[in-house]
Structure 1
């Protein structure tokens, strides 16, 4: 599932390419046809993201809410638009570009009050300038649940996925199964600050890079990471491989239905 930086990149792309101009909206697949007809030809006022949720504001009181889920994907190209290929849930055609949305978990037309309700259910997003990390800390500091699980709970912290979760805990030497209420306040502040920096970097580059400069391949002489996800990471999807810092085998286990990666030496219980 795409992590929060991907949705913010999409929001910025759509803001740049479509905002301020009329957009032709359709649903070749048909599942979004009635809603598409209501906003077809309207001016896109703004595109923004909160966590893993994307919002296209057409107004008045008409917002397209998209959650990509596991399989959702946007494809973009310059006009003219070609014939739809596959199951296109929503097509947007502007003056210079067009985009198709396929396979989202959610694509629906909602009101501004419903947008507020969605956002109210989400925790602070490290990428957003209006985020309040104390909101997340109030939940974490009272919880018996592991910090690894809490970081993935979108009602606690919005936008963090499996990669950022594993990597930020490694970078701060924190055992993933540590209960939230046993986390020190300075450690939380360090986690939040790091997430802000790493996730905003992801927005700029379009990939997740978490390895510090002194541990990069060009410095250590190791082979660069080869993975379709891209980016240099410490533990994510490196189970069974040696830790980049201590050489201990990276571990993996299931936690709340997701794969958890960590180094037992660098992140001692």
Structure 2
């Protein structure tokens, strides 16, 4: 099976299934990508054994790794990361089964893309044990954004050029200041709008490389805030100053379809006309500064 490129497995509940998968993996010498999902909890001991068995037979040389509910605690996962980390280019980890010891040490010399979701704070803290000096794209969702996150961000040095803050992020008022102080080479930034971020751009004194911003205005799942959010959008983007962000070329506002549906509802105080005025003022203000504004539906 030398030609096998990608393998996806999921819901391994019995030892016999794990045995079959390991037999397949042992014959995939040129495997490029692996995706595995183990829904459940580690209290079921056979899942521990099954995962160790399967993880131990994933061949060296894998470049793309996607794990959901993987057993990532030390010491079981340390040999796994140590063996595969030298060749990984992209990795996604969601809901890892891990204890407070966190991730073990690993070198990721080629890793450029990392996607993390549903992680505990101690997972982020232990990421300081990872060497990810080539990372250019980081995506996080449902992850606590506090000191461990900022310490991990600081450890990326100047390599990071793209950062995506997905759902489940609880921002603080100084979030943007902390991010752009640490990520000095950042070019692309995507985030979910929140009321506490209304004046966030006013806190950025200067950033030389940020050129593309994407803001999702309706992906927070809190419909009762849509009127408040829409009323804040104008002030939020008016603080984008091309003199402080000289490389800025494009601003994308997404989530307008959901916003439109809510604002057309009888209970909406602002209505579509008010929302359109806010968005039009954003377009005119930034457009006059040479920044392209796109509205995504």
> Structure 2-normalised TM-score?
0.26
Larger Rg: 1 or 2?
2
Greater RCO, CA 8 A, separation 6+: 1
With normalisation by structure 1, the TM-score equals: 0.28
